[in-house]
Amino acid sequence: MHRDYMISLGSNVGQREDYLVQAVKHIAHMPKACVRAISSVYETEPMELLDQPQFLNAVVHVASPEDPYAMLRSLLEIEQAMGRIRTVRYGPRVIDLDILLCGKTVIADLPELMIPHEHMLKRAFVLVPLAELAPEMVHPLTGKTIRALCSAVASREGVRRFGSLGSWG
């Protein structure tokens, strides 16, 4: 049995596009994982902590048999391998990988793991690329489609299409 993970990628330090490409390569090399789709890359105004460089954000759809805790561990390992150093909460980072959704799964195990991702409903930088990949997908806590959630979110003007991760493979 595989699970459908929607994973968000963000970078706002150094060669941001290269970091997104590297992250997708790492994800594609996870045992038994299959990258099904990658959204466009968006350049986005920082949220939460405003005084930091603009981000590049994207979302990938990954099919994997791993359970959500194993997936989280793998993503944290990739962040570490790519040299992410945790300093300020919400602050600059070479790479941030978050699980947004895992099918209809709901996990409320704070602070370790929340699925759906705790902050996704207010984050245009997540909802815009997610809506590009899966507009009809339903957010299991609200029962609303990603298309509807994306239309409702403020701050969409801070999200501009930047390009695509054409040569990640």
Ligand X SMILES: Nc1ncnc2c1ncn2[C@@H]1O[C@H](COP(=O)(O)OP(=O)(O)OP(=O)(O)O)[C@@H](O)[C@H]1O
List residues binding ligand PH2 (CB under 6 A). Answer: 10, 44-49, 55, 57, 90, 96, 125
Given a contact cutoff of 8 angstroms between Cβ atoms, the answer to whether 43 and 160 are in contact is yes
Given a contact cutoff of 8 angstroms between Cβ atoms, the answer to whether 97 and 60 are in contact is no
Instruction: For residues 125 and 150, give the distance between their C-alpha atoms in angstroms, rounded to a whole number.
Output: 10
Interacting partner of 77 out of ligand PH2, ligand X, none (Cβ under 5 to 8 A depending on kind): none
The yes or no reply on residue 32 touching ligand X (CB under 6 A) is no
Give the helix ranges, DSSP H, for the chain.
Answer: 16-28, 68-81, 124-133, 146-152
Interacting partner of 157 out of ligand X, ligand PH2, none (Cβ under 5 to 8 A depending on kind): none
Smaller CB separation from ligand PH2, 104 or 161? 161
Residues annotated as part of the active site: 84, 93, 96, 98
- Select from 21, 72, 78, 153 the one that contacts ligand X (CB under 6 A): 72
DSSP-assigned letters across all residues of 110-129: TTTEEES-TTGGG-HHHHHH
The yes or no reply on residue 121 touching ligand X (CB under 6 A) is no
CA dihedral angle for residue 45, residue 47, residue 51, residue 57, rounded to 10 degrees: -50
Interacting partner of 42 out of ligand X, ligand PH2, none (Cβ under 5 to 8 A depending on kind): none
- Closest distance of CB 65 from ligand PH2, Å: 27
- Closest distance of CB 169 from ligand PH2, Å: 23
Interacting partner of 112 out of ligand PH2, ligand X, none (Cβ under 5 to 8 A depending on kind): ligand X
Instruction: For residues 160 and 164, give the distance between their C-alpha atoms in angstroms, rounded to a whole number.
Output: 12
